[in-house]
Amino acid sequence: MSDADLSLPREDRCPGLSYSDMLAGDTRGAPDCLVAESNQNLGDEPLDPARYTSEAFAVAERESLWPNIWQFAAREEDLPEPGDTVVYEIADKNYLLVRQSDGSIKAFHNVCLHRGRLLRDEGGRSVNLRCPFHGFTWHNDGTLKEIPCRWDFPHLEGRDLSLPELRVERWHGFVMVTENHELPSFREWVGPGVEHYDLWKLEECHTAAWIGRVFPANWKATAEAFMEAFHSVVTHPQILGFTADANTRYDLYGDHMNRAITPNGALSPHVRGRGQRYILETIADFLGEDGGVRFATSADLGGFAPDDPLLARKVLAAANREAFQAMDGRDYAQSSDSEVLDNFTYNIFPNFAPWGGLVPNIVYRWRPWRDVDHCLMEVRILTRTPLGTTPPKAPHMHLIGEDESFTTVAHLIGAGLAGVFDQDLANLASLQKGMKASANGRIELGHYQESRIRHFSRTLDKYLSGQLPGKSINP
């Protein structure tokens, strides 16, 4: 494949190799779901900064959004054994997930039906669910076991005092919950795009690392910082030598899913006068000594033509197939270059971002925290469980101090990724302050590169206006 064979970019795309061009040169052939584009013209109206800074807006979210959506509450490996529990908190909601003796998972409102104390302050093993305040106790299946001094509660005789339950569904190793018992199933609720994950089988993965940090910015502003690659040219200049940031493709599906596909092993269009060897050298430097990428001679290039405009992608994909198989014993021989190389940053509305593809997968989750100006951002690194082995129990979330940087967890997520998160953190504190100080009350978005933000915002507005979910919550 030569430069002359590559198609010209669309007028609304950045010049240079498009993602579609790269797929056309894939050594294995990419799945249809990667080839097909799905974008929408959502206009160019500005957003109001108040949606990120107003307590009234946050109240509307608490009332109309969080009770009416499917939420990622846990991974299967967080509670592998009967009696294992997970406490999941979102806004002013608090839920308790419990693995049952038959392997199923139940989720309850984590509230004692006596005086309203949380039944558990944190997850862990549970023989039964006993309130630490007065000792009201429930079995792990949520049925009532004991009322201390029962003689003093004759008015409760004959009443159903089982713990109120949420709906639970399990999807590719993720445990999803909702308060709204009238929502469609999780897959139906997400709609188009959710089927892509059937290719990548994230249920074969387990959590290798899990970190969290409170960000001094609204949860939406923080999530949206990870919905576009447009900021990389200024915020993450160290990745431009191997990441085609401005040639990222953005796809929008229904109301509840969108994605960005950022090609790796390709130069940013902002980098001029560099060749394929430069791409290989910069990614090796970024990954460091433990990255396993070193290309010193022409023999290391796998027999690909030195003038191939996709040489670096092909070399890196071949190296990844070999490395992934060595790690987990699975066969990646027929996996496309893109699936073992590129960043598939999907977002499932509103605060859940499980990466697609076959590389060690990153999962983001953002939660409101304390007030409208803060959120908890969580990052999980999923890796494939080696064939023939049992996935280990997930580690506890490592919460980084608010006065600490991500470099303190570089040993868990890698120095390169830690540095990227610290660069994002530096922007977000000033972003929240700036939105509060806005003189014109307008946030202008790029028509294409920031289309996911507009898509996300439109869906949120549908919930706050009552257009979604369209059915009431069961009492």
- The per-residue pLDDT string of the chain (475 residues; one tens digit each, 9 = 90 and over) reads 333 333 334 566 787 788 999 999 999 999 999 999 998 899 999 999 999 999 999 999 999 999 999 999 999 999 999 999 999 999 999 999 999 999 999 999 999 999 999 999 999 999 999 999 999 999 999 999 999 999 999 999 999 999 999 999 999 999 999 999 999 999 999 999 999 999 999 999 999 999 999 999 999 999 999 999 999 999 999 999 999 999 999 999 999 999 999 999 999 999 999 999 999 999 998 887 555 455 444 446 777 988 899 999 999 999 999 999 999 999 999 999 999 999 999 999 999 999 999 978 999 999 999 999 999 999 999 999 999 999 999 999 999 999 999 999 999 999 999 999 999 999 999 999 999 999 999 999 999 999 999 999 999 999 999 999 964 443 3
Are 173 and 74 spatial neighbours (Cβ–Cβ below 8 Å)?
Answer: no
Burial (0-12, 13-18, 19+ Cβ within 10 Å), 250: buried
Domains of the chain: residue spans and CATH: 3-42+203-463 (3.90.380.10), 70-179 (2.102.10.10)
DSSP 359: S
- Cβ neighbours for 440, distance < 8 A, ≥ 6 positions apart: none
- Residue 102: phi and psi, rounded to 5, are -90, 5
CA distance 225 to 231: 8
CA distance 311 to 327: 24
Alpha-carbon dihedral 131, 132, 136, 140, rounded to 10 degrees: 40
CA distance 215 to 350: 17
Bridge pairing between strands 93-99 and 105-109? antiparallel
Count Cβ neighbours within 10 Å for each residue of 333-366 and write b for 16 or more, e otherwise: eebbbbbbbbbbbbbbbbbbbbbbbbbbbbbbbb
The pLDDT of residue 290 is 55
**Three-state SS at 421:** helix
Whole-prediction pTM: 0.94
**Three-state SS at 314:** helix
The pLDDT of residue 101 is 98
CA distance 445 to 224: 11
Helix/strand/coil (H/E/C) assignment for every residue in 24-69: HCCCCCCCHHHHCCCCCCCCCCCECCHHHHCHHHHHHHHHHCHHHC
Nearest Cα neighbor of 371 from 48, 47, 59 is 59
Bridge pairing between strands 84-90 and 124-125? antiparallel
Give the type of residue at 214. V
The pLDDT of residue 297 is 43
